[in-house]
Amino acid sequence: MSGYSDPGFDTLALHAGASPDPATGARVTPLHLTTSFVFESAEQAASLFNMERAGHVYSRISNPTTAVFEERIAALEGGIGAIATASGQAALHLAITTLAGAGSHIVASSALYGGSHNLLHYTLARFGIQTSFVRPGDLDGWRAAIRPNTKLLFGETLGNPGMDLLDIPQVAAIAHEAGLPLLLDSTLTTPYLLRPFEHGADLVYHSATKFLSGHGTVVGGVLVDSGAFDWQAAHDRHGLFAELCEPYAGFHGMVFSEESTVGAFLLRARREGLRDFGACLSPHSAWLILQGIETLPLRMQRHVQNAQRVAEFLAAQPTVLGVGYPGLATHPDHALAQKLLPRGCGSVFSFDLKGSREQGRVFIEALKIFSHLANVGDCRSLVIHPASTTHSRMDDAALHLAGISAGTIRLSIGLEDADDLIDDLKRALKIASR
């Protein structure tokens, strides 16, 4: 019984969920660009449809290339499995609609990506799912917002764009006291910097478009289940999650919590949400994301090194009002970051320029290395003005709650030489201050 140690993160990033292709011996996971898979026999076909055997039928439901991506990210997160989706937004939608329906309620952080806020505040409300927003650090607010029809608590590990760090252990404890799961958007931290399941989160999703892919080439998402949340216990005690614990008419009366003691959520999400809403990931996109994940540990190390240097530079500039990076001692969540993010605080953050909105425009347009576009987590450095772009649909009150002002500028620090990034910012700040 001696000699065993858990495989490390870097090893899992290269190997988990994959093995040399049995048909060809190909070492790299092959790209299976096919919609469908030939059945061995009529009997096998029926068995696959009836979940008597595992296998691939149709690439909207599963695909061998996509499955490697799903299993790899599940391994990196310390989860039991995952479902790849067409985007991060599709992953959020899949998580919510697996658990909630008309008449349901969600408690969410107010510091969210603008698209997520829009989905919760406007779109899901149209389908009868209401959301209460609370400041991520307001623990009493989280507790007080829970209602009898609440189905989940939701936040971002690092709130976009203010970089509020969610106190995951505390918010998870509040959720679990009420028999509810905690769902987190972990896009900005990636499992390399933070594994939310180790701190009590139950479900995690990523916009794989960002750091997981890492090269700005592909749009995708992925939803991961820890397997730790006891849906049956919540059903028995609180009457919640009939979707997982009572017969499902859409699949032969299957009771997902009986089928899989720890995997009921993923079973239903794949058998209902992925099947019926259809927001699956292309195998081609999954293959590209897999290439990115292989170097995730190396890239994230460089991302956070660069981000720390750039944040420290900006914080020392007289034309900068403040820098919202938890790696700086001045950030309100710095102490929490030391605990939850010992490897670094990500590479996306915002800062506020002194001066007018016009000076902000001049600053952004004066940058040469930073690309002005709507994305984060690229290997190239990026810049955007949230109030007029990503968060433009939020009113002033919601912007304030999210920590965004008219002068807020969001940076995504890439893998270039840090000295060059600092020179670029220095020059643009000078031009903007004229």
Which residue, 52 or 365, has its beta carbon nearer to another protein?
Answer: 52
| 24 interacts with another protein by CB under 8 A | no
How many other C-beta atoms lie within 10 A of the C-beta of residue 45?
16
3-state helix, strand, coil in the chain (%, to 5): 45, 15, 45
The nearer residue to another protein, 230 or 378, going by C-beta atoms, is 230
Q: Which CB atom, from 70 or from 424, has the smaller least distance to another protein?
A: 70
Q: Of 68-76, 90-98, 351-359, 378-386, which segment contacts another protein by CB under 8 A?
A: 68-76
For residue 82, state whether it binds another protein (rule: CB under 8 A): yes
In the set 26, 28, 36, 52, which binds another protein (CB under 8 A)? 52
**51 lies in the site for another protein, by CB under 8 A:** yes
What beta strand segments (E) does 66-165 contain? 81-85, 105-109, 130-134, 150-156
Confirm if 198 and 359 have CB atoms less than 8 A apart: no
Only segment of 15-23, 103-111, 115-123, 304-312 that touches another protein (CB under 8 A): 15-23
Q: Which of 39, 45, 71, 309 binds another protein (CB under 8 A)?
A: 71
Kindly indicate which of the ranges 92-100, 251-259, 310-318, 337-345 contains the residues binding another protein, using the contact rule CB under 8 A. 251-259
- Phi, psi (rounded to 5 degrees) for 305: -60, -50
The tokens describing 288, both together, are 């590209």
Q: Identify the residue among 19, 24, 35, 41 touching another protein (CB under 8 A).
A: 19
Dist. CA 85–CA 209, nearest whole Å: 11
Report the residue from 13, 81, 108, 290 that binds another protein according to the rule CB under 8 A: 81
- Are 221 and 87 contacting, i.e. CB atoms less than 8 angstroms apart? yes
Residues 192-231 that bind another protein (CB under 8 A): 226-228, 230
Q: Which two tokens stand for residue 402?
A: 């999210």
> Is residue 280 close enough to count as binding another protein by CB under 8 A?
no
Closer residue to another protein, CB minimum distance, 113 or 256: 256
Task: Tell me which of 13, 32, 83, 115 binds another protein, using CB under 8 A.
Answer: 83
Please tell me the distance from the alpha carbon of residue 311 to that of residue 422, in angstroms, as a whole number. 10
**Do 188 and 300 form a contact (C-beta atoms < 8 A)?**
no
Instruction: Give least dist CB 3 to another protein, A.
Output: 10
Among 32, 79, 241, 386, binds another protein (CB under 8 A): 79
60 binds another protein (CB under 8 A): no
Side chain identity, residue 364: I
**Contact region with another protein (CB under 8 A), list: 51-59, 128-136, 171-179, 204-212:** 51-59
One of 27, 28, 36, 55 touching another protein (CB under 8 A): 55
Output the smallest distance, CB 54 to another protein, in A.
Answer: 4
110-131 burial, b at 16+ Cβ within 10 Å, e below that, comes to: bbbbbbbbbbbbeebeeeebbb
Answer whether 172's CB lies under 8 Å from 228's CB. Answer: no
Give residues 253-272 in contact with another protein (rule: CB under 8 A). 254, 258-263, 266-267, 270
Closest to 223 (Cα-Cα) out of 253, 263, 260:
263
Q: Are 253 and 247 in contact (CB under 8 A)?
A: yes
Measured from the CB atom, the residue of 120 and 274 that comes closer to another protein is: 274
For residue 48, the minimal CB distance to another protein (Å) is 9
Beta partners for residue 301, in sequence order = none
206: helix, strand or coil: strand
Q: Which phi and psi angles does 322 have, rounded to 5°?
A: -170, 155
Q: Which of residues 84-103 bind another protein (CB under 8 A)?
A: 84
By CB neighbour count within 10 A (0-12 exposed, 13-18 middle, 19+ buried), where does 169 fall?
Answer: middle
Q: Which stretch binds another protein (CB under 8 A): 61-69, 109-117, 319-327, 411-419?
A: 61-69
Cβ atoms within 10 Å, residue 275: 15
Applying CB under 8 A, the residues found at the interface with another protein are 1-2, 4-6, 15-19, 22, 47, 50-56, 62-64, 66-68, 70-71, 74-75, 78-84, 226-228, 230, 252, 254, 258-263, 266-267, 270
